[in-house]
């Protein structure tokens, strides 16, 4: 076994890639007490993204706990990644397809009388064979907790996006900052913001849950010789517009956005909602 150059994996874990007789592997190591929860959420997110077949990400292999201490080790596929450059537009299209995947599942189920959640069998008309396919998701949330950095996200399922975003995304961050820092300005502005939020969604008839990477900024995207890659996810099903606001920290190549909006055009009021969604990422990094 020998060490090989690597990139990716975030900034809070020790990372290394290895060349072995069984293949090339990428390894993340972390000794914080909540690491197992963090890695379990990341693995579930990678599996969910891979299941859509829309955008490439590392294939998760296994999570191990170190026998001599609290350290957890996450082993996944090694990809020869470089900075995003030539495939920025392809990434925009791929992320749009990721966001549209659940909606397309829903439309297919309506045609085949499928039910929501899990998997079901449909008969393929051209050959009469049955194929196992995913079921669509009708709520906002995720099957397990996922983390932005070390910060866990409450992914309990909810029928209402605005309620989910306020109670399970913004409020936990505001409560934490109040407890740790006692910031008076934030405490005073919070109730005013909550009252203001519902009007930003007027005119939107329906928000279909979209599978989100959850922390999609320039440090979590890359490319290989064959196309774009995303990694280090904090997945959940939410409003697709939230994904685009994560770029406040490290922006993508600008070719990403025209390609994305070719498949998912901007809805009325997008610019104001984007400001709201940026607040979530600012709070995360506070």
- The catalytic site residues sit at 215
Helix (H), strand (E) at residue 48: helix 35-52
3-state secondary structure (DSSP) of residue 224:
strand
Helix (H), strand (E) at residue 2: strand 2-4
254 contacts 84 by C-beta, under 8 angstroms: no
Question: Any idea what the Cα angle at residue 74 is, between residues 29 and 77, rounded to 5°?
Answer: 120
Contacts of 284 (CB under 8 A, 6+ apart): 148, 149, 151, 173
Count the Cβ atoms, other than its own, within 10 Å of residue 245. 19
Q: How far apart are CA 29 and CA 26, in angstroms?
A: 10
Contacts of 163 (CB under 8 A, 6+ apart): none
From 199, 204, 197, 166, select the one nearest 283 (Cα to Cα): 166
Residue corresponding to tokens 């993204």: 49
Strands 221-224 and 210-212: unpaired
């Amino acid at each position: 076994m020998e060490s090989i150059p690597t990139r990716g994996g975030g900034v809070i874990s020790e990372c290394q890639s290895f060349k072995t007789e069984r293949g090339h592997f990428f390894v993340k190591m972390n000794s914080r007490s909540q690491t197992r929860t963090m890695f379990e959420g990341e693995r579930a997110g990678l599996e969910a993204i891979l299941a859509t077949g829309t955008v490439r990400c590392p294939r998760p292999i296994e999570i191990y706990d170190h026998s001599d201490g609290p350290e957890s080790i996450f082993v996944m596929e090694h990809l020869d990644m470089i900075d995003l450059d030539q495939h920025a537009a392809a990434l925009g299209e791929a992320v749009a397809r990721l966001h549209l995947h659940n909606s397309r599942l829903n439309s297919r189920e309506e045609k085949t009388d499928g039910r929501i959640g899990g998997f079901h069998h449909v008969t393929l008309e051209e050959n009469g064979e049955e194929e196992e396919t995913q079921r669509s998701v009708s709520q906002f949330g995720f099957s397990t907790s996922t983390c932005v950095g070390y910060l866990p996200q409450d992914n309990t399922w909810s029928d209402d996006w605005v309620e989910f975003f306020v109670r399970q995304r913004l409020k936990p961050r505001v409560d934490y900052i109040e407890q740790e820092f006692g910031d008076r300005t934030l405490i005073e502005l919070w109730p005013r913001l909550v009252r203001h939020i519902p009007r930003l969604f007027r005119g939107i008839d329906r928000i279909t849950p979209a599978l989100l990477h959850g922390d999609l900024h320039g440090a979590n995207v890359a490319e290989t010789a064959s196309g774009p890659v995303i990694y280090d996810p904090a997945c959940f099903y939410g409003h697709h517009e939230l994904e685009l606001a994560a770029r406040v920290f490290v922006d993508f190549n600008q070719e990403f956005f025209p390609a994305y909006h070719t498949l998912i055009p901007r809805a009325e009021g997008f610019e104001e909602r984007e400001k709201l969604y940026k607040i979530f990422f600012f709070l995360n990094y506070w």
